[in-house]
């Protein structure tokens, strides 16, 4: 299995869990923030949904500038799952055809003509497309708990859901 195929298989598997989390996001609380410095629920949920495809698009380039701007906020909770599905498809489009040589080639983020981040493309994809996604999905689970929304199982039982119980 190629490096890209392996990463995309993990993304596909994890997207099932991410979908279950996004399905729980309540429409009535999209503007809610747990703290003034935090993203709103709608911003965080949309970020979780669209990040994999956007990161894969960046990873497919040899060099990028740091993204600028604020995180967009979801207008409706109903747009989150379709956004995730489109994001996973976008990730497959950008990384799916890459061979191992392309995945191990050096990827760069530059700012003002100087390198601020250099690493093998696979390291960037792993760290930002996948690990970054898991980090923000965990944040989203905390938001749901704080809003008293039943939290779905991710890697095991939660106080609200136990996939191992009979």
Domain residue spans in the chain? 3-146
pTM of the model: 0.95
- Residue 158: the pLDDT is 94
- Residue 165: the pLDDT is 87
Annotation: CATH topology of 3-146: 1.20.120
Residue-wise pLDDT for 87-135, tens only, equals: 999 999 999 999 999 999 999 999 998 999 999 999 999 999 999 999 9
10-residue mean pLDDT profile of the chain (166 residues): values are 97 97 98 97 98 96 89 97 98 97 97 94 96 97 98 94 88
Q: Could you count the other beta carbons within 10 Å of the beta carbon of residue 118?
A: 13
- Residue 33: the pLDDT is 97
Q: How far is Cα 21 from Cα 61, in angstroms, rounded to an integer?
A: 30
> Cα dihedral angle (107, 70, 74, 14), rounded to 10 degrees?
30
- Residue 160: the pLDDT is 94
- Residue 29: the pLDDT is 98
- Residue 166: the pLDDT is 77
């Amino acid at each position: 299995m190629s490096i890209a195929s392996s990463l995309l298989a993990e993304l596909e598997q994890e997207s099932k869990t991410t979908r279950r989390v996004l399905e729980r996001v309540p429409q009535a609380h999209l503007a809610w923030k747990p703290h003034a410095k935090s993203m709103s629920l709608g911003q965080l949920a949309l970020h979780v949904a669209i990040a994999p495809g956007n990161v894969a698009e960046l990873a497919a380039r040899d060099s990028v500038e740091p993204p600028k701007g604020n995180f967009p906020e979801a207008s409706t909770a109903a747009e989150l799952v379709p956004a995730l599905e489109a994001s996973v498809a976008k990730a497959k489009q950008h990384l799916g055809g890459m061979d191992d040589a392309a995945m191990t080639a050096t990827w760069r983020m530059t700012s003002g003509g100087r390198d601020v981040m250099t690493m093998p493309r696979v390291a960037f994809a792993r760290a930002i497309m996948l690990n970054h996604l898991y980090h923000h999905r965990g944040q989203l689970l905390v938001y749901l708990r704080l809003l008293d929304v039943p939290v779905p199982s991710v890697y095991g039982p939660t106080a609200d859901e136990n996939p191992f119980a009979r």
